[in-house]
Each structure stands twice: as structure tokens, then as C-alpha cells.
């Protein structure tokens, strides 16, 4: 049943196949930290009573729509012009003897989605799948002004991303409280389905803590604890706002359950408890700082209760520990059942992951366990994926230009490593007109992992290897569509 559900879920992203002309991405620069401008991070959850009757939505709609934007993206697609006769023999990797390989001309395709302004100086949270493949981003505000957008950073594991536009004094939404949402509570979904701008739909919270909803394309440690609603959401709503009747952001609309690609009664949103943590980390650090308990877990069920002679019928069973486990160091043992974290009940793995996922390495959590019928509490200091409490900064660095290839290289990010399943390499951040990479059809965003059979780890090294080349040059890596390539130039 779980696999059937996943197979029918369609990511709510509107795409079209229009081919467009050439373009350049507007560069806004990257922030070092969250700014001092008014934002959802500096504004408290409002204490106002819900205006009007339970079915009265005008207050929330009027407050929300100015802060929800329409995101239009352009992405490169490659049209094959001719192929090498060696393609059939070498799995599409091109002619290993330098005969030209696949020559492809880049084309462009348009898509659109939604986003939510979370600071007055232009930070916007949206879905990773809205902007992940984008080479150019245009953001249209509710007042019809348009800006070029820059991706600050993305997190495939939660399907969230932060972009920025060069503007000030913008309306933004306050973060609400997704932890205390009640099933049956009224909510509004605001976005741009089918390119219909500023569309508001209403529904109720149908369920909480949904998981195993969408495929993360191999992303490590997928974080899922979706809010399920019956508010109508369609392609183009991705990245839009799910709000309560106070007009506070309680989730980012991400996916729909559908056999047709259109709304069929169920939609899913990333809860704001995750949105707040992930977006703050992306802005401040360039990647997400995830704390880990370091435990192998499963939900308690009747079979497990019988097999392990557990003294409780609900909770999260601890079946083992990872290396340098934070929970083990604090005193948690195998066969313990985690019943609460920081006083919040953990009846499902998704709830446990949501709570821990909102913390950073080095932060303490209070873990309550049932051990042979006795309740025990442990203060656990969360660790990062490397088994320590350090903050892991996102990769930064200068770009380097190669005249020989006609391209510029930049560092790859953790998100790139997850997406392309590589441990090192350099990213093609610009393909120059009439250069060798353009001739071979290698797209911006591709990853080069080896030059002349030598692994490359940073842009400077790649540029130096190309500068020192003698004779033919062999490139290996992963194209933007995930296909592996080998070119001999």
C-alpha cells in the first residue's frame, strides 16, 4: 500500500516544453548570515484571536496573498544534433578516441511554481524541485513587479530551498506553530496553480506526520513529516503557503496525491517547524545543520511487543546505534522505547525525525524512554553526521575560468553530492559562447569529476590541470540530467 501511494503522488510543479533563446543569470551575491531586516525569524507568532467565524477566510487571505510570489524558471534541455557511431558500444559516453561524441545544442524550457517571502529584504522559501534545475529565475510579486532571483542554497532531503531577490520593504509571513495543529482545523493554501496568480483555496488538516510520500532521488536522510490537507493544490502550487486563519505560515505546499497529475483530494505540505529550521540554516550556513541521535529505529507494533517483550505498545523502538552515537553516549540502550523528546510524544518515526530534525549539532534534547516498564530520561547532546558537534559550513569558493574549455568552474555543494552521487568534483557554473563545452553540449550545472583520469576536488585544481594539459584531454563527470559522460577533446 505504501509503494502504491508513492507511485501515485505527483510533485505539484507546472512545466511546459517551450524552447527559448539564450540568457544570463542575474547575480545578487550570497549573504553570510540572516540579515537584521524584519523577517519571520525576528517576528513572534501572533497572539491575536482568529478573526471572524471558523469559516471566515478573508482575513487570512488578505494577509497572505501579498507575501506569496510567482516563481518562473528557465532550465536547459539538450537537443541531440548527431551522435557518434561509438555511442551504441560505449553506452552513450561518446567516442573514447576523440571523434566528437554527442554534440548537443542547449535548449531552454519554462516551468513555474510559488514561493513565500520570509523577510522584508527579499529572502523567499520555496521547494527545492521548483528551482533545482533552474538556470534563470524570475520572481513576480503580488503587485506585478518582477525581479531576477538567485538561489541561496537548497536542501533536497526536505525538498526546500531559499532564493533571494534584490528588494527591500517587502511584505512577509510570520512563522506559525505546526506542532500544535489539530486534525480538522481550517487552513488556506495560497499559490499560483496553472499560472493562475494569487489563488486561494480552503480545506482542513486531514492528517499529520505523513511520510514516504515522494521520492528524493537518492537524497541522503530524507526528512518527511508532511501535513496532509484537502485544500485544493495543483501543479504550480509547489512552494506556496499553507496558512492558518491568523494568516501565519504553517507549511510549504509540496506534493499532491494523484493518478492524473491534478488534485484528487489530498495534498501535502512541509510543516513550518521544519521550514523555519531549514531556511534559517540555508541562509546562515549555506547548508542544513542536522542533529542526529545516532539510533536505528522502528515504530512499536504488536509483533515487536511480543518478540521483544516490550512493556509499552506505543513509541519508537531502539534497535541499534550508529558509530559515535549521541544517544548511546547519553545512556540510551538497545530495546529502549523512546516515548517523548523534549516532552513531545513520539508515536511515529516521522514525529521523532521532525523534532530532532529541528535541532542543530551541539543542541541538547531530553529523551524519555520506557525501559522494561520503567520511565527514564536522558539528556542527549545531538551530533552531526560526522559524529561530533561542530557546525558544518556549506562549500564556498571562487570560480575559475578555463579558456581551453570555454567555461567557468565553481565548487560543488553537499546538495550536489547527494543529487549526483559524487564525493568530489567541480561544477560548471558558466558555459561560454562558442567554447568547447558548448560545442559538445555540456550544460551549466554539470559536474566534472576527473580530468585526464585525475580526480579533481576544487575549481583551482581543475583550471591548473587544463592549463598544463598536453595532447588530448579526457573529461569525466555527470551531466545535469544525471547521465555519466566521458569526453576526449
Render 272-289 in DSSP notation, one character per residue. Answer: HHHHHHHHHHHHHHSS--
Domain membership flag for residue 394: no
Domain check: are 213 and 337 in the same one? no
Query: 392 lies in a domain?
Result: no
Q: What is the pLDDT of residue 56?
A: 82
pLDDT digits (tens, 9 = 90+) for 243-258: 999 999 999 999 887 7
Based on the fold, state whether residues 256 and 300 are members of the same structural domain.
Answer: no
Q: Between 327 and 179, whose confidence is greater? A: 327
| 387 located within any domain | no
Residues annotated as catalytic (active site), given as ranges: 129, 159, 238
Q: Is residue 290 part of a domain?
A: no
Of 285, 308, 325, the one marking the end of a domain is 285
Residue 336 phi, psi (nearest 5)? -65, 150
Residues 311 and 356 in one domain: yes
> What integer pLDDT is reported at residue 213 of this predicted model?
67
For 16-28, what is the mean pLDDT? 33
Give a yes or no: residue 391 inside a domain. no
Q: What is the mean pLDDT of residues 70-97?
A: 50
Do residue 141 and residue 203 come from a single domain?
A: yes
- Between residues 47 and 96, which one has the greater pLDDT? 47
CA angle 219/225/230 to nearest 5° reads 120
pLDDT of residue 95 exceeding 90: no
Q: Which residues of 68-89 are buried (b: 16+ CB within 10 A; e: fewer)?
A: bbbbbbbbbbbeeeebbebeee
> Which ranges of 158-296 would DSSP assign to H, the alpha helix?
272-285
pLDDT band at 18 (very low <50, low <70, confident <90, very high): very low
Residues 134 and 256 in one domain: yes
CATH number of domain containing 474: 2.30.42.10
| Interval 136-181: pLDDT, tens | 899 999 999 999 999 888 888 889 999 999 999 999 999 999 988 9
Q: Are residues 114 and 207 in the same domain?
A: yes
Residue where a domain stops, chosen among 244, 263, 285: 285
Residues 180 and 320 in one domain: no
Question: For 189-233, what is each residue's pLDDT tens digit?
Answer: 999 998 888 899 999 999 998 886 665 554 455 677 899 999 999
Alpha-carbon distance 243 to 240, whole Å?
A: 10
**Could you tell me if residue 393 is inside a domain?**
no
Residue 75 included in any domain: yes
Same domain, 204 and 264: yes
Q: Is 52 left (phi over 0), alpha (psi -120 to 50) or beta?
A: left
b/e map of 208-243 (b: 16 or more CB within 10 Å)? Answer: bbbbebbebeebeebbbbbbbbbbbbbbbbbbbbbb
Residue 83: pLDDT over 60: no
Least confident of 140-144, 201-205, 365-369, 435-439: 435-439
177 and 80, same structural domain? yes
Please state, as a whole number, how many other Cβ atoms lie within 10 Å of the Cβ of residue 408: 20
Q: CATH code at 124?
A: 2.40.10.120
Give me the number of domains the chain comprises.
3
Average pLDDT of the chain is 81
The residue segments making up the domain with residue 468 are: 400-488
Q: Do 165 and 276 belong to one domain?
A: yes
Question: Which grid coordinates belong to 342?
Answer: 523534549
How many distinct helices (H) and strands (E) make up the chain? 10, 27
45-63 pLDDT, tens digit each: 555 455 545 568 999 999 9
Among 266, 285, 304, identify where a domain stops.
285
Statement: residue 88 has pLDDT above 50: no
Section 8-34 average pLDDT? 38
Residue 446 near residue 428 (C-beta atoms within 8 A)? yes
How does residue 429 score in pLDDT terms, banded at 50, 70 and 90? confident
Asked whether residue 169 falls in the same domain as residue 216, the answer is yes
> Is 261's pLDDT higher than 90?
no
Q: Name the β-bridge partners of 110.
A: 74
- 8-state DSSP, 39: B
Per-residue pLDDT at 85: 35
Q: Within a domain: residue 408?
A: yes
Rounded CA separation 57/99 (Å): 64
Residues 374 and 227 in one domain: no
Amino acid at each position: 500500500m505504501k509503494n502504491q501511494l508513492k507511485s501515485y503522488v505527483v510533485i505539484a510543479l507546472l512545466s511546459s516544453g517551450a524552447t527559448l533563446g539564450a540568457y544570463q543569470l542575474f547575480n545578487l551575491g550570497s549573504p553570510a548570515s540572516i540579515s537584521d531586516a524584519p523577517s519571520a525569524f525576528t517576528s513572534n507568532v501572533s497572539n491575536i484571536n482568529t478573526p471572524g467565524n471558523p469559516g471566515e477566510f478573508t482575513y487570512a487571505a488578505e494577509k497572505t496573498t501579498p507575501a506569496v510570489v510567482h516563481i518562473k524558471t528557465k532550465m536547459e534541455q539538450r537537443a541531440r544534433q548527431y551522435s557518434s557511431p561509438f555511442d551504441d558500444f560505449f553506452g552513450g559516453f561518446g567516442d573514447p578516441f576523440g571523434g566528437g561524441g554527442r554534440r548537443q545544442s542547449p535548449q531552454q524550457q519554462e516551468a513555474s511554481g510559488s514561493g513565500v517571502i520570509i523577510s522584508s529584504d527579499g529572502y523567499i522559501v520555496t521547494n527545492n524541485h521548483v528551482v533545482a534545475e533552474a538556470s534563470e529565475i524570475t520572481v513576480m510579486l503580488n503587485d506585478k513587479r518582477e525581479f531576477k532571483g538567485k538561489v541561496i542554497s537548497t536542501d533536497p532531503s526536505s525538498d526546500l530551498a531559499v532564493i533571494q531577490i534584490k528588494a527591500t520593504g517587502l511584505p512577509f509571513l510570520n512563522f506559525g506553530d505546526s506542532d500544535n495543529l489539530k486534525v480538522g482545523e481550517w487552513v488556506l493554501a495560497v499559490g499560483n496553480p496553472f499560472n493562475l496568480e494569487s489563488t486561494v483555496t480552503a480545506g482542513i488538516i486531514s492528517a499529520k506526520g505523513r511520510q514516504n510520500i515522494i521520492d528524493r532521488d537518492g537524497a541522503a536522510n530524507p526528512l518527511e513529516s508532511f501535513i496532509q490537507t484537502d485544500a485544493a493544490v495543483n501543479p504550480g502550487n509547489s512552494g506556496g503557503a499553507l496558512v492558518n486563519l491568523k494568516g501565519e505560515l504553517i507549511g510549504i505546499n509540496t506534493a499532491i496525491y494523484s493518478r492524473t497529475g491534478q488534485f484528487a483530494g489530498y495534498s501535502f505540505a512541509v510543516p513550518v517547524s521544519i521550514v523555519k529550521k531549514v531556511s534559517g540554516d540555508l541562509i546562515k550556513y549555506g547548508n542544513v545543520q542536522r542533529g542526529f541521535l545516532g539510533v536505528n529505529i522502528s515504530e512499536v507494533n504488536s509483533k515487536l511487543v511480543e518478540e521483544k517483550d516490550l512493556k509499552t505498545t506505543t513509541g519508537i523502538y531502539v534497535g541499534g546505534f550508529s558509530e559515535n552515537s549521541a544517544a548511546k553516549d547519553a545512556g540510551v540502550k538497545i530495546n529502549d522505547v523512546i516515548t517523548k523528546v523534549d516532552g513531545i510524544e513520539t508515536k511515529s518515526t516521522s514525529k521523532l525525525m521532525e523534532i530532532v530534525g529541528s535541532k542543530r549539532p551541539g543542541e541538547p534534547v531530553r529523551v524519555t524512554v520506557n525501559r522494561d516498564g520503567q520511565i527514564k530520561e536522558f539528556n542527549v547532546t545531538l551530533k552531526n553526521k560526522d559524529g561530533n558537534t561542530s557546525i558544518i559550513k556549506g562549500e564556498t569558493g571562487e570560480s575559475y575560468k578555463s579558456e581551453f574549455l570555454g567555461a567557468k568552474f565553481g565548487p560543488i555543494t553537499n546538495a550536489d553530492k547527494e543529487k549526483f552521487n559524487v564525493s568530489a568534483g567541480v561544477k560548471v557554473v558558466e558555459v561560454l559562447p562558442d567554447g568547447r563545452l558548448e560545442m559538445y553540449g555540456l550544460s551549466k550545472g554539470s559536474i566534472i569529476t576527473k580530468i585526464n583520469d585525475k580526480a579533481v576536488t576544487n575549481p583551482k585544481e581543475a583550471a591548473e590541470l587544463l592549463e598544463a594539459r598536453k595532447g588530448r584531454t579526457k573529461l569525466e563527470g555527470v551531466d545535469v540530467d544525471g547521465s555519466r559522460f566521458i569526453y576526449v577533446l
